[in-house]
A and B are shown apart, each in its own frame.
Chain A
Amino acid sequence: MKTMKTMKTMKTMKTRASGLVVTALALCAAPITSHAEDGVPENPLKEAYFGETHLHTGVSMDAFIGGNRLTPDDAYRFAKGEEIKVNGSMHKIKVPLDFCAVTDHSEFMGEAFSLMNEGAPGYDDPIAKSFRDATDLETALMLYGKYVLTPLASGKDPHPPFFQGAEAIKSTWKKNFEATEKHYQPGKFTTIHAYEYTSAPGGGNLHRNVLFRDTNVPDMPFSSNESPDPEKLWEWMKVQRADGKKLFAMPHNSNESKGLLFCEETLSGKPITKEYLELRSSNEPLIEMMQIKGNSEVVPQFWPNDEFADFENATSLQDFNDRKFMKKNFVRYGLTRGLKYRQDMGINPFKYGFVGGTDSHNGAPSNVAEDNWNVGSHGLADQTAAIRSKATLDGEMKVSDLNPGAITGVWATSNTRGAIWDSMAARETFATSGPRIKVRAFAGQGFAEKYDSYEALVKDGYEKGVPMGSDYKGDKAPQVLVWAVKDPIGPNLDRIQIIKGWVENGELKDKVYNVVASGDRLKEDGSVEPVNAPIDLKTGKFNSEKGDPELKGVWTDPDFDPKEEAYYYVRVLQLPTARWNLWDELRNEGVKFPEEVKKQIVERAWGSPIWHEGA
């Protein structure tokens, strides 16, 4: 019996190490809102909290086969600034996060349980074993293709043979839940229960991250194995909501959506109905603007007049999977198309505020600093500088086209789950391409021309206007009060722009306005003298003289028509900084990226839109 005993001890040890304190915590017995939230002080003017809203650990099977053995527990530790072994080397983020949501794929969560937990049913299955034992990417991908992708594409049961059924999914979901509970420190560090729904019919990305407000979560997440049609996800969410649960979904990578995200008909080919619009808009307040696999705002080919459209476009996505760029794959198009749905049918299904994420499959949340991306994002595929300079990512895109990902900013009254989730649901959010730039905007009437005091500006913003993510209801041309401040450890700001979208005689229109610029560079005609502050290519250092640390101003729409549908969102540009590949070259002798890979970039923040709904 000696052997048996040892095995049991080992099993207990494993549970202890990963589940630690909270293994006894039953899902349904937990209090819904932590009492600890009660004592956290609130700031009615709100603070900007930064966090991750899109992250995979070893629980996501594609991350697992890429070599990731980190757990949600490790990911939260990393988010708090602790050093952990990421993708083969010890690593930490430069600036700890305020909040974090781990969004493992709900598909194959059961498989993950069998793969990762010794003693679990299915653990010893030869196929499960071969997954675990795969040490090189090629083998791992072959297995993934054979046992997951091929069955998925053929519409057959996508579960590999070692799948143990729903109970295994529940076990994994519960383990993620426990780690998320364990790391929540109201007022200091917020964790959010979440997962990713991963549907990509015909290679068109319709993925959604689903975030829960509190501990009232279902015992099993809805996955694309149940249905690849997001309508079914929304219906499931509606049922959850009727059951008292609070949740929303956020699509991402519209750039990979093959026209399916901002659609003209339902996925099943039926005409869009009012019910569809209602269902969709009630479930999706936010969209991920940017992540490792590209910025989805705009691309130059469809927005030639936007001089800053050429930014982390991940153009090599088009070389694979027939994912040719189309105008209707980009967020600005979606926002404007949504206005037209509102005009034609009364509801805007694409009324999206902005978040940013990484989609890192390394279990390393918001590892977004360009000068701290030594460990890559997708396991073996982009692990070292030498690999990154040459490789492609799983037949999806060139690694040199990846970026470290984006981050979400939330204006909330306190750093608690409730406050952060509520502000996200209300879209009072912004996304940045990585830097901790803060931006806020209000639309209203009667703002002062100039505010010396920040607090007076914010108070007036709320008193005389509405914040980002809301509807401006006036019938006079809106004044938009904008404010932005630099990342304390980054360069100064170049300018603030407002992007207006509207529908004119049935046509979708949008225009970029320069609203505030550092120095005296904003001209009468609305153009801006370029800031001309290149980085030092030999050291990677940015210009620390030019630009302004804080920008603010009031802009009034010169072409307002109260009958028209419109939105206004803010874009803040910072001075140029070195792109990650330049740091790779500077730090690793012999590493050379192709000439066409940009060495410097203009990082930015996007504030969620404010809408004006037409008559």
Chain B
Amino acid sequence: MIPRLLKEPFVHFVAIGAVLFALYQTKERLAPEEEVEDKDRIVIDQQEYDHLKELWKIQWKRDPSPGDIKALLDRHLRQEVFYREALKMNLDHNDEIIKKRLSQKMEAVANDLSALTQPPTDERLMAFFHDNDDFFKLPRSYQFQQVLFLANETDVDARLQSTLGTLRQGGGIPADRVSKAGLKCDWPLTSVHDLDNAFGGDFTRSLEEAPLNEWSGPIRSGFGWHLVRITTRQDSVLPDFETVRDYVAREYDYRSEMESQDRVFEELLGKYRVNITAADVPAEIKSNFVAP
């Protein structure tokens, strides 16, 4: 009977009330000028006050009157005082709601942790940039001209050879081949990723083997056959940091957040000795949490 009674919230309420009342009676009220310990100091500075007022205004859609200000300060102080006293009495311990809320907050902290502890300073970004140079490397790029012959054209071989001859002798691209199938002939320096999307097939792979500064081909794409003249072949390079700084910063933020979620849990878990004594937890699951 007694243990059950102790679990009743109402009993808690009465007990807490009694304790608080006792505390209130015994503790002298402090005079304003008297020295107090920092932990017993409640300061409402301008920033805090503006914040409280702003919250009030969002809810009520008008400026608070003096009466409202008194009420909101009263509410704030009440909450603050009871909250602090509750903490002193350890009333927060092992409360399911508080546990869940605090662990959620801790997870949110973990999300922001890397940003808090490792803000993306220039040095960090630079280091991140170099540690992930494969990721940030600009893909191989080509500047080139191309002339397209659709796969289904008649006499395509003969036409290819004759045009190749003309081009090699310095002739221009035939008028009917300009922007054939809507595909432009002159390509500024373009990455192989974009070229893959624009040409399909094995086009970009074939470009690797094509000679520089002379017409060659045919090479195959998703459209048909191409004669190509590469004027610049730029190997995969790490771009100048400054030109991609924003992109690096974005990627840094994103990855830090993703990683810190797991890393923080792993690290914190490491501080604890987890001992799962329950018999029916499968060993392979246990091993996830229990240090060997």
State whether the Cβ of B224 lies closer than 8 Å to any Cβ in chain A: yes
The answer on a CB contact under 8 Å between A488 and B198 is yes
State whether the Cβ of A95 lies closer than 8 Å to any Cβ in chain B: yes
Bound CA–CA A452/B178 (angstroms):
10
The answer on a CB contact under 8 Å between A9 and B176 is no
- The residue of chain B having its C-beta at the shortest distance from the C-beta of A171 within the complex is B58
User: Among the listed stretches A12-20, A274-282, A319-327, which one makes contact with chain B, having 4 or more residues with CB under 8 Å of it?
Assistant: A12-20
The answer on a CB contact under 8 Å between A549 and B151 is yes
The answer on a CB contact under 8 Å between B197 and A488 is yes
CB neighbours of B128 from chain A (8 A): none
CB < 8 Å neighbour of A489 from B182, B222, B258:
B222
User: Among the listed stretches B2-10, B21-29, B107-115, B271-279, which one makes contact with chain A, having 4 or more residues with CB under 8 Å of it?
Assistant: B107-115
The answer on a CB contact under 8 Å between B175 and A121 is no
Chain B 162-180: CB-based contact to A (< 8 A → 1; otherwise 0): 0000000000000111111
CB neighbours of B61 from chain A (8 A): 165, 167
The answer on a CB contact under 8 Å between A454 and B198 is no
The answer on a CB contact under 8 Å between B223 and A550 is yes
CB neighbours of A17 from chain B (8 A): 112, 115, 253, 257
Q: A118-B108, A488-B222, A489-B196 are in contact. Are A84 and B181 (CB under 8 A)?
A: no
The answer on a CB contact under 8 Å between A550 and B112 is no
Q: A1-B43, A454-B181, A485-B181 are in contact. Are A77 and B250 (CB under 8 A)?
A: yes
The answer on a CB contact under 8 Å between B116 and A453 is no
- The residue of chain B having its C-beta at the shortest distance from the C-beta of A4 within the complex is B48
Bound CA–CA A282/B253 (angstroms):
44
For the complex, count residues of A whose C-beta is within 8 A of B: 40
Bound CA–CA A548/B150 (angstroms):
8
Bound CA–CA A167/B182 (angstroms):
49
State whether the Cβ of B285 lies closer than 8 Å to any Cβ in chain A: no
State whether the Cβ of A541 lies closer than 8 Å to any Cβ in chain B: no
The answer on a CB contact under 8 Å between B58 and A165 is yes
State whether the Cβ of A587 lies closer than 8 Å to any Cβ in chain B: no
Q: A17-B115, A549-B150 are in contact. Are A121 and B59 (CB under 8 A)?
A: yes
CB neighbours of A34 from chain B (8 A): none
The answer on a CB contact under 8 Å between B179 and A13 is no
Give the interface SS of chain B, mostly helix, strand, loop or mixed: helix
CB neighbours of A507 from chain B (8 A): none
CB < 8 Å neighbour of B115 from A1, A13, A165:
A13
- The B234-292 residues at the A interface (CB cut-off 8 A) are 250-251, 253-254, 257-258
Bound CA–CA A489/B198 (angstroms):
8
Q: A17-B112, A121-B55 are in contact. Are A489 and B197 (CB under 8 A)?
A: yes
State whether the Cβ of B221 lies closer than 8 Å to any Cβ in chain A: yes
CB neighbours of B258 from chain A (8 A): 85
Bound CA–CA A17/B61 (angstroms):
28
The answer on a CB contact under 8 Å between A485 and B182 is yes
Bound CA–CA A9/B117 (angstroms):
12
The answer on a CB contact under 8 Å between B182 and A549 is no
CB neighbours of B182 from chain A (8 A): 48, 438, 454, 483, 485, 550
The answer on a CB contact under 8 Å between A453 and B223 is no
B152 to chain A, nearest CB (A): 5
Chain A 84-102: CB-based contact to B (< 8 A → 1; otherwise 0): 1100000000111000000
The answer on a CB contact under 8 Å between A549 and B222 is yes
Bound CA–CA A518/B150 (angstroms):
12
Bound CA–CA A374/B221 (angstroms):
27
- The B172-215 residues at the A interface (CB cut-off 8 A) are 175-183, 196-201
A381 to chain B, nearest CB (A): 24
- The B38-74 residues at the A interface (CB cut-off 8 A) are 41, 43, 48, 55, 58-59, 61
Bound CA–CA A486/B177 (angstroms):
17
CB < 8 Å neighbour of A453 from B176, B250, B251:
B176
Bound CA–CA A85/B201 (angstroms):
29
CB neighbours of B109 from chain A (8 A): 10
The answer on a CB contact under 8 Å between A10 and B254 is no
The answer on a CB contact under 8 Å between B152 and A548 is yes
A96 to chain B, nearest CB (A): 8
Q: A455-B179, A485-B182 are in contact. Are A95 and B58 (CB under 8 A)?
A: no
CB neighbours of B197 from chain A (8 A): 94-96, 436, 488-489
Bound CA–CA A48/B181 (angstroms):
13
The answer on a CB contact under 8 Å between B152 and A167 is no
The answer on a CB contact under 8 Å between B112 and A488 is no
- The residue of chain A having its C-beta at the shortest distance from the C-beta of B256 within the complex is A17
Residue of A168, A452, A487 contacting most chain B CB atoms (<10 Å): A452
Bound CA–CA A16/B111 (angstroms):
13
- The A269-322 residues at the B interface (CB cut-off 8 A) are none
CB < 8 Å neighbour of B59 from A13, A16, A84, A164:
A164
Residue of B108, B198, B254, B257 contacting most chain A CB atoms (<10 Å): B254
Residue of B182, B200, B257 contacting most chain A CB atoms (<10 Å): B182
Bound CA–CA A489/B203 (angstroms):
11
- The residue of chain A having its C-beta at the shortest distance from the C-beta of B55 within the complex is A121
- The A460-483 residues at the B interface (CB cut-off 8 A) are 483
The answer on a CB contact under 8 Å between B178 and A455 is yes
The answer on a CB contact under 8 Å between B58 and A550 is no
Chain A 437-464: CB-based contact to B (< 8 A → 1; otherwise 0): 0100000000000001111000000000
CB < 8 Å neighbour of A550 from B176, B181, B196, B254:
B181
A129 to chain B, nearest CB (A): 9
- The residue of chain B having its C-beta at the shortest distance from the C-beta of A77 within the complex is B250
The answer on a CB contact under 8 Å between A10 and B223 is no
Bound CA–CA A483/B112 (angstroms):
52
- The residue of chain B having its C-beta at the shortest distance from the C-beta of A95 within the complex is B197
A363 to chain B, nearest CB (A): 14
- The residue of chain A having its C-beta at the shortest distance from the C-beta of B48 within the complex is A4
The answer on a CB contact under 8 Å between A549 and B112 is no
CB neighbours of A14 from chain B (8 A): 112
- The residue of chain A having its C-beta at the shortest distance from the C-beta of B54 within the complex is A121
CB neighbours of B250 from chain A (8 A): 77
Q: Which 9 A-B pairs have the closest CB atoms?
A: A488-B200, A452-B176, A489-B200, A488-B222, A550-B181, A13-B112, A549-B223, A454-B179, A95-B197
Identify 22 residue pairs between A and B in the complex whose beta-carbon atoms are under 8 Å apart, listed by A's number: A13-B116, A14-B112, A16-B115, A82-B251, A121-B58, A121-B59, A165-B59, A452-B176, A453-B176, A453-B180, A454-B179, A485-B181, A485-B182, A485-B183, A486-B223, A488-B199, A488-B201, A489-B197, A490-B200, A549-B151, A549-B223, A550-B223
For the A-B complex with A121-B58, A165-B58, A487-B222 known, give 9 more contacts whose Cβ atoms are closer than 8 Å: A10-B108, A13-B112, A13-B116, A48-B182, A436-B197, A489-B200, A548-B150, A549-B222, A550-B181
